[in-house]
Amino acid sequence: MLKAVGSKVWAIPGGHMPLRSSGAEPRDTSRDELCVLNAGHFDVQLQITIYYEDHEPVGPYLLKVAAQRVRHVRFNDLIDPQALPLDTPYGAVIVADHPVVVQFTRHDTSQAANAIATTLAFPG
């Protein structure tokens, strides 16, 4: 049986969802996306805290990732406890109750030429 892979704490310092989009939505919506791999055998509860330049952190945003599944979530869509503003720098810390792997992806369709950037988050 594969051991759980990853870490329980991850950090993303460079969040910034572009305001403008071009192309067909929701496929081409400019966005920041959280990609979580839970290769373990337990469902995982994530607690996400969002940090800003000019005010106190907001959170936790709660997400579940089922055992042996991946989950992709757009930061743009998070509303609980409150929506994240677009076009605003933010960082995120993700705390999981079991090890997971976290990848961060930005789709920027501000211009018609699609731009994608992706990286593993920083494991704590």
Partner 1 sequence: MPFGCPRHVKILRTHSTDEFINWSGSVRFIPRSQVWPASDEAVSVYVRDAAARSRKIRVAGSGHSSSPLVETPDILMSMRDHHGLIDYDLSRSQATVGAGTVLHDLGPILHDIGLSMENLGDVDTQTIAGVISTGTHGSGRTLQNISATLVGVRAVTGTGEIVEWSVEQAPDLIDAARVSMGLLGIFTAVRLQLQPRYQLRRREYVAGTDDCLAHLDELADAHRNFDFYWYPRRDEVKLRTLNPPQTPFPELPYACHIHEEQGYSHEIIAQERELKFEELEYFVPAEAGPACFREVRRRILERHRKHVAWRVLYRLIARDEGFLSPVYGRDSVAISVHQNASLPYQDYFDDIEPILRAHDGRPHWGKKHSLHGAALAALYPHWNDFMALRRQLDPQNVFLTAPMARLLGEE
Which DSSP helix (H) or strand (E) runs through 122?
strand 122-123
Among 78, 92, 102, 121, binds partner 1 (CB under 8 A): 78
Q: How far is the CB of 3 from partner 1 (least distance, A)?
A: 33
Among 8, 11, 16, 29, binds partner 1 (CB under 8 A): 29
- Tokens 């979530």 belong to 73
62 binding partner 1? (CB under 8 A): no
95 closest CA partner among 60, 66, 120: 60
Maximum Cα–Cα distance for the chain, whole Å? 46
Residues that bind partner 1 (CB under 8 A): 19, 25-26, 29, 74, 76-88
